[in-house]
Structure 1
């Protein structure tokens, strides 16, 4: 016997059914028979309406109940998504490759829906299933790569532990073994086969071994200035870039802490300091009493830099302009 579908009644229908009870001779049984419902339903609607006060109140309760049910479903979904992300964060901490997401989904497929994890981790569901179907072939390739590990170790030891992935890859190629250099690097990294790291050469910006004179120390480590353009500090620094070191010469006003002149170059040469000071002089045109303080490197002791400070022209420092070379 097939099960009859459950009927749903609107708040207006219930209100009209209860209203008919007030008609002469009407009972719960007679009204129920006329409407095709049970007397217990009529009784329940009557009690519901008496408690709510009106059909409109019942409608609001129904809407609120539906919204509450939807919010509870949404809450359960969000809780599961949060749980997936919590597990994923601990899982991804052990992996660096993009395949980590796929590995995670495969590892937790028994506890969470694949579609949900794919949505949370922004992974195509079809991509995941294709990746999982190709797992046997990946295992074969992985086993073949692992067989090369003894050869890689032998080449590494024969080089007195100095060869990195590029040289070991070249040796394998000379032996007739076809393998990608990235694969060699991945195997070496996975088994902690690596030559000792060489420290990165840090450029020296101070070369005090020169024939130029050293100016006297006028500040004696007192770098305070009461007003602008009284004390300038000149220095050279360096910035690492993908194409090598970039050198930066700057001139700072010790009263305002403002950079009043600067220059950049890929080469450390005397013109770097000259260009930075020339910009500062053109921008500020200080009084002759200005003291320029720098280290005793060759860039600040060379003739071009000294000559710039002694140039006697309108609006620029005269012969009384002083350069101080600081001892390290």
Structure 2
């Protein structure tokens, strides 16, 4: 029997059950199915020195204060700049450049350029270079183009405006008129245009090997995985899980603040460490970018996992994972917004490892918990 290994994420959440929630080490070890000796080691390794903890908290508070002051100043400037420059927001860039030059002692130049919708490189180019003869001529032509465009009730395009200019004696090419109009976003106003449709075959990265067969009679033959998100006041917390369809047990999970591919790799790594499958396992997912990455395919190939994917936009192909997320949100986090991501992590860890896997009755497996179902079936084999 291979010795069970646990990810650092699992260890951290197990330690929080002791340190933050006040449970005893034997009680937590029994509920999570780990040895008390291992849990004692994890707790001891995570206990920081009180002095270091206090200094770290002070440094964190100072960093947060500086960050909040900078953010407040940025918000204040972002509100003031458009108010002062509201008369030129729809004007040509040179007028906006003049506004930036006039107020450069009051606000950062880059912030003014962003608020006015111009580039800071364009501002410096305007500042350091006098207008060329051609740009002055283009500006004169632009006024004539505006007059012709407005006189036609904005229905003339470049060819007809070019004819108007030629009739009044301007020696200018059609291409130059078109370039000036495009640069200043002047175009003919037409009627409604029918939308185009693109017909193509849907992209299928790997075949759907599961085919909605969610009833499996042997452990570690078919796993499903998916990602969901939980709202907190700090931002989204993303949760990836791996479920064994045999018992509906969550055998792997990971929680992170981003949707980078590491979240699915950590979840599947936990599942492999826990189950150590000896035969090939189907691992079914949707067509998300995390499950289409090269790292995901290489991990599956090196651990005897056979990828399978749902059809695009078809949630029924991964209904077992979607059902778990629905239960999690209805039974634990519905109508509640966590203050921090850490608070959400602790509550979700408690739901998965303590309640769902070991206590919650599941109708699909005879109204017993996934752990109890696996133990019961092991005695019958």
| TM-score, scaled relative to structure 1 | 0.33
| TM-score, scaled relative to structure 2 | 0.28
> Which has the larger share of helix?
2
Structure showing greater relative contact order (alpha-carbon pairs closer than 8 Å, 6 or more residues apart): 2
Q: Compare CA radii of gyration and give the structure with the larger one.
A: 1
